[in-house]
Amino acid sequence: MPDELRMEPPPRLELLPEPPPVIIPPLRELPQFPGTIPDEITPFASDPVPDPLAERREAIRERAFAHERHQRLQEGRFVEIGAALRGKPEADERRTIVHVVWDHAARAAVQTTLDADTLEILDVVESTDQPAPTSEEIEQAVATAARSERLTREVEGLVGLALLVSPIDPEDPLFGHRVFDVRFFSPDERLPRAAALVDLTDERVLRVGDPRAAEQRLEREGEH
């Protein structure tokens, strides 16, 4: 009978400590790093990406809003999401520009496709798919939450952030609304101090809460 094959176990790996994340200001709640921290940290900065439509955005906007579908926008509330260039000439694709507006009244995105050279309108379609939020919407959501009577004093001096969380279920009463989850942080703390759900379509605060209370409740439940 041939001898049994035997494989030696792999060598034991020695885990080395990893450097801590660079956070300015540092979080007070992080554990002490066991390794050596360098005296100087060189920040990384990337070069800005040029905007290929920078000099044509106003002309694109005027051409898109001249279409009859956009006339209804003037009668209600809307937010201009922006315009983007599409198509690769090297792949023999037609170069087009897509201009997107969210119509609060229709609860839909109005997408206008234009020829990239002539700005001729090629197509105008509507979609219930929510486009990414603009920086103006994020600022508006944070400001709306901060004005809430239940949060005005609590969020003074805190940093506000907002994420788009619009429902995707057509049966949801808030379907088609621009809904944001807003959180207020102290820069040197891990958990937000206050939270709010903001509906920009109806311009109201749906609810407010204390994320820390929820975290503490989960911790207590985990102990039992």
Least confident of 59-73, 95-109, 114-128, 164-178: 59-73
pLDDT above 70 as % of the chain? 80
Residue 200: DSSP 8-state: T
42 pLDDT exceeds 90? Answer: no
Residue 75: DSSP 8-state: G
Structure-token pair, residue 96: 């087009």
Q: What is the mean pLDDT of residues 5-12?
A: 69
Give residue 145's pLDDT. Answer: 94
pLDDT mean across residues, the chain: 84
Q: What is the pLDDT of residues 47-101, one digit of tens each?
A: 777 888 889 999 999 999 999 888 877 677 899 999 999 988 777 788 999 999 9
Give residue 205's pLDDT. Answer: 94
C-alpha span between 111 and 81 (Å, rounded) = 10
Give residue 99's pLDDT. Answer: 96
Q: H or E stretch including 98?
A: strand 96-103
Give residue 151's pLDDT. Answer: 84
